[in-house]
Amino acid sequence: MAGSPLDQFKLSNKLELSVAGFDASITNSALWMIGVVAVTSVGLMWAMRRADMVPGRSQSMAELLYEFVANMVKDNIGAGGRPFFPFIFSLFMFILIANLAGMVPYGFTVTSHLAVTMTFAIFIFLLVIAVGFARHGLHFFSLFLPPGTPVFLMPLIVVIEVISFFSRPVTLGVRLFANMTAGHILMKVFAGFIISMAAAGSFVAFLSWLPFVANVAVTALELLVAAVQAYVFALLTCVYLNDAVNLEH
C-alpha cells in the first residue's frame, strides 16, 4: 500500500474503447468525471424535487449555491452576463464537486490533471475571444490598448498586453492544477510519515502522532482550498468574460 505519493494520480483504463481509430478508453479519471456530473445533477434535482415557498434544508443549500453564482455573475459582468450564468454555474459546480470528491478516501482528483484544467481554461479563452469578436467585431482589439496611453509607449504596451492576454488561460489552468496536486501530495507524504515512523520503532514510533496531527490540519486546509479554488476559477472566468462583454473603451 505504501507506494509513491504520486501513485494517486495514475490513470488506468477501466474500459477499452476505440472510436474511429482513436483511443477513447474510459479511464478512472473519466469515470470520476461522469460520477461528478451525475452526483451534481441528481443532487441538485433531488434538492429541488419539491420547490417550496419556504425552503427545506436541501432546497436552501441548492438556492444558496444558485444565488452565490448569480451574484458573482451580476457583480462582475452585470446585466450582459445573464446568458453566461448556466455555463458559469455548471463550471463552478463541476470543479467544486470534483475537488471535494478528491477528498473522499480512495477518491481520484480529476482536477489534479493539467489536461483537464487546461481544457477548461482554453475553452474559456476561446469563448472570451469568440464573444468579444461577436459583440464588438474588430473593435475588440482595443482591449490591448488601455485608454490614455501616450503615443510613444503604444508599441510597448500593445506587446505587453498581448502577452498578458495569452498568459490568462495558462494561469487559470495551472493554478487549479497546482493547488490540487500539491495538496494531495502533501497529504500522502504526511500519511506515509505516520506509517514509516510507527514502523521505525523505539523513540521515533512514539512521535508518529505528530504527522498524524499535521495531516488532520492539512485535510482541513485542503477542504478550504477545494472550495476556494472552485470559487477563484469561476470568478476569473467572470472577470475575463466581462472584458469581452463590456469592452470599456
Should residue 221 be labelled a site residue for other proteins when binding is judged by CB under 8 A? yes
String of contacts with other proteins for each residue 115-154, x by CB under 8 A: ----------------------------------------
Minimum CB distance to other proteins, residue 167 (Å):
4
- Residue 108 has φ and ψ, to the nearest 5°, of -120, 130
Q: How far is CA 228 from CA 22, 52, 95, 222, in A?
A: 36, 30, 10, 10
Per DSSP, 26 falls in state E
Per DSSP, 109 falls in state -
Residue 15: strand pairing partners: 26
Should residue 114 be labelled a site residue for other proteins when binding is judged by CB under 8 A? no
Minimum CB distance to other proteins, residue 53 (Å):
27
Q: Residue 223: what residue type? A: L
- Among residues 33, 116, 225, 244, the one that binds other proteins under rule CB under 8 A: 225
Instruction: Pick the closer one to other proteins by CB: 178 or 194.
Output: 178
Helices (H), the chain: 28-47, 57-77, 85-101, 114-136, 154-200, 202-206, 209-245
Minimum CB distance to other proteins, residue 177 (Å):
11
Q: How far is CA 179 from CA 63, 182, 218, 232, 239, in A?
A: 28, 5, 13, 12, 20
Residues in 152-181 at the binding interface with other proteins, rule: CB under 8 A: 156, 159-161, 163-164, 166-167, 170-171, 174-175, 178-179
Give the interface with other proteins as residue ranges (CB under 8 A): 75, 156, 159-161, 163-164, 166-167, 170-171, 174-175, 178-179, 221, 224-225, 228, 232, 239
